[in-house]
Structure 1
Amino acid sequence: MIEAVNLAKHYGAKTAVGGVTFTVKPGMVTGFLGPNGAGKSTTMRMIVGLDKPSAGKVTVNGKRYADHHDPLHQVGALLDAKAVHTSRSAYNHLLAMAATHNIPTKRVNEVIDMTGLAAVAKKKAGGFSLGMGQRLGIASALLGDPQTLILDEPVNGLDPEGVLWVRNLAKHLAAQGKTVFLSSHLMSEMAQTADHLIVIGRGQIIADAPIAEILAGTQQAKVRVRTAEVTRLSQLLGANGVKVECHENETLEVSGLDARQVATIAMDNRVLVYELTPLTNSLEEAYFNLTKDAVEYHSQEFTDNAPVPAAVKGR
């Protein structure tokens, strides 16, 4: 279990994390989301003692990370996949880590096989691709069979098979009663992996709830309708102040009414509909709704008529 109480980190006048309180519980996968610069990496670094809190405290399995006599057995962390001795082979990197905790060589071989590194185990880590570096970082985190696993962007650089493997690994470890805390910018992947979400923005907790509750809490009733009388039905529905978007193939997308209400209006006005499908928000939509006021770095939006940036022309 990870417990943070009024945890804060300041760099001079800049607040990276502003007194957050949260608990990451065992037996479930907890996702950690937030825009760039929101404080995710700083929070994770404070959990494992790489950054000292300016205020508050954070404990893992009841103790500060630095107070554990067997940290590899308590916490496995992947925060920077490049944090390896580039001249060492994957096998020797893991062997050196194992020696610090009297972990047997058998376990080194187990995590190598588990993470798909067997074919490159004797190769220097400096020559690894991004994906293979991620696998080595995950192997390092798993080495001590820890009770708590902290993974920062674990699927970065992985192929589809690797992404699926990480998803199943996280769920498997949570099912064993372990604490699994992971961050990712891939909303679709987080939606399939996490049971609970903690969302941070500008150093503050924006949401801390089960993923289903977050989706439901940011969701407005939305229905896809198909009818040959697009114009008439859109006027009937829009008369109530409802948002109606017209799309191709005789399709309307209605926001603000549920399927029953749309069906009632159509029936009362003798409008034939041949599709009526309730739509649910994706995690991506829910995330953008939650963090729309907490994004520090905004990118330029492009439209069909927007000029092409000079750096893109001629490619």
Structure 2
Amino acid sequence: MIEAVNLAKHYGAKTAVGGVTFTVKPGMVTGFLGPNGAGKSTTMRMIVGLDKPTRGTVTVNGKPFEQHRDPLHQVGALLDAKAVHTSRSAYNHLLAMAATHNIPTRRVNEVIDMTGLGPVAKKKAGGFSLGMGQRLGIASALLGDPQTLILDEPVNGLDPEGVLWVRNLARYLASEGKTVFLSSHLMSEMAQTADHLIVIGRGQIIADAPIAQILAGSDKAKIRVRTSEVTRLSQLLGGAGVNVACHENETLEVTGLDARQIAATALENQVLVYELTPMNGSLEDAYFNLTKDEVEYHSQQFNDQAPVAVKGL
């Protein structure tokens, strides 16, 4: 378990993290989201003792990280996949780490097999591709069979097979009762992996809830309706708090009514409806709704007509 209480980090006049309180519980995958510059990496670095908090506390499995006598067995972290001796082989890098905690050589071989590093285990890490570097970083995090796993952008550079492997690994470890805390910019992947989300913006927690709750609260539910009587049905459904948008292919999108209400209105007025589909919001939509006022950097979005300045990326 990870517990942060009023955790803050200032660099001079700049606030990287502004006093956050949250708990990452065992037995589930907790996703950590936020725009660039929001404070994600700084928070993760404070959890594992690489940055000292300006104020507040953070504990892992009941203690500050530096007080653990066996940190590799308590916390496995991937914060920077390039943090390896480039002249060492993957095998020797893991072997050196294992020696610090009396971890047997067989465990080194296990994590090499587990992460698919076997074919390159004896090659120098400095020549690894981005994806192989990520696999080595994950192998290092798994080496001590830790109770808590912290992974910052673990799927960065991985191919589709590797992305699926990380997803299954995270969910498996959570099912074993471990604490899994990971960040990713891939919303579709986070939606399939995480059970709970913590969203940070400008150093403050702006959401901390189960992913289903965040998706449900991202916007009013929309219902897609198809009928040959688009104009008539849109008039029948219109009213206070209801929005009806007409689209091509005899399609309406209705906000403010549920499917049962729409079906009842259509039946009562003898309007034939041949599709009635709830449209679930995506995690990407929910994320942008949450963070639209919290981004630090701005870019331009281009379409086929003219560039439009937008917040984001």
Fold-level match, TM-score > 0.5?
yes
Query: Over residues 153-184 of structure 1, what are the superposed CA-to-partner deviations in whole Å (9 max), with x where a residue is unaligned?
Result: 10111111111111111111111111110011
**SS of corresponding position for 1:42:** helix
Answering whether residue 247 of structure 2 is matched by residue 257 of structure 1, we say no
Residue in 2 that maps onto 1:312: none
Q: For residue 245 of structure 1, what is the amino acid of its counterpart? A: A
| 4+ residue segments displaced more than 3 Å | 238-241
Residue in 1 that maps onto 2:135: 135
What is the alpha-carbon distance in structure 1 between the residues aligned to residue 203 and residue 60 of structure 2?
Answer: 20
**SS of corresponding position for 1:63:** coil
Residue in 2 that maps onto 1:171: 171
Deviation at residue 120 of structure 1 after TM alignment = 0.6
Alignment of 1:154-303 (within 5 A): 154-303=154-303
Answering whether residue 10 of structure 2 is matched by residue 6 of structure 1, we say no
Residue in 2 that maps onto 1:18: 18
Q: 5+ unaligned residues in a row in structure 1: which ranges?
A: 309-315
What is the alpha-carbon distance in structure 1 between the residues aligned to residue 182 and residue 192 of structure 2?
Answer: 13
Answering whether residue 126 of structure 2 is matched by residue 126 of structure 1, we say yes
Deviation at residue 218 of structure 1 after TM alignment = 2.5
Deviation at residue 137 of structure 1 after TM alignment = 0.3
What is the alpha-carbon distance in structure 1 between the residues aligned to residue 163 and residue 23 of structure 2?
Answer: 26
Q: 5+ unaligned residues in a row in structure 2: which ranges?
A: 309-313
Contact 1:154/1:182 (<8 A) preserved:
yes
What is the alpha-carbon distance in structure 2 between the residues aligned to residue 100 and residue 274 of structure 1?
Answer: 66
Residue in 2 that maps onto 1:96: 96
What is the alpha-carbon distance in structure 1 between the residues aligned to residue 46 and residue 241 of structure 2?
Answer: 49
**SS of corresponding position for 1:209:** strand
**SS of corresponding position for 2:300:** coil
Deviation at residue 267 of structure 1 after TM alignment = 2.5
Deviation at residue 18 of structure 1 after TM alignment = 0.5
Deviation at residue 243 of structure 1 after TM alignment = 2.2
What is the alpha-carbon distance in structure 1 between the residues aligned to residue 49 and residue 204 of structure 2?
Answer: 20
Deviation at residue 33 of structure 1 after TM alignment = 0.8
Cα distance, 1:3–1:171 mapped onto 2, change above 3 Å:
same
Contact 1:2/1:23 (<8 A) preserved:
yes
Contact 1:33/1:184 (<8 A) preserved:
yes
Query: Over residues 212-266 of structure 1, what are the superposed CA-to-partner deviations in whole Å (9 max), with x where a residue is unaligned?
Result: 1222222412101111122332333344452223333221111221111222232
Residue in 1 that maps onto 2:311: none
More divergent stretch after superposition (212-221 vs 9-18): 212-221
What is the alpha-carbon distance in structure 2 between the residues aligned to residue 225 and residue 155 of structure 1?
Answer: 38
Q: For residue 227 of structure 2, what is the amino acid of its counterpart? A: T
What is the alpha-carbon distance in structure 1 between the residues aligned to residue 264 and residue 221 of structure 2?
Answer: 15
What is the alpha-carbon distance in structure 1 between the residues aligned to residue 168 and residue 205 of structure 2?
Answer: 27
Q: For residue 57 of structure 2, what is the amino acid of its counterpart? A: K
Answering whether residue 73 of structure 2 is matched by residue 73 of structure 1, we say yes
Q: For residue 143 of structure 2, what is the amino acid of its counterpart? A: L
Residue in 2 that maps onto 1:112: 112
**SS of corresponding position for 1:300:** strand
Query: Over residues 56-94 of structure 1, what are the superposed CA-to-partner deviations in whole Å (9 max), with x where a residue is unaligned?
Result: 010111111111111111100000111111111111111
Percent sequence identity is 87
Contact 1:219/1:280 (<8 A) preserved:
no
Cα distance, 1:94–1:302 mapped onto 2, change above 3 Å:
same
Number of corresponding residues: 308
Contact 2:301/2:307 (<8 A) preserved:
no
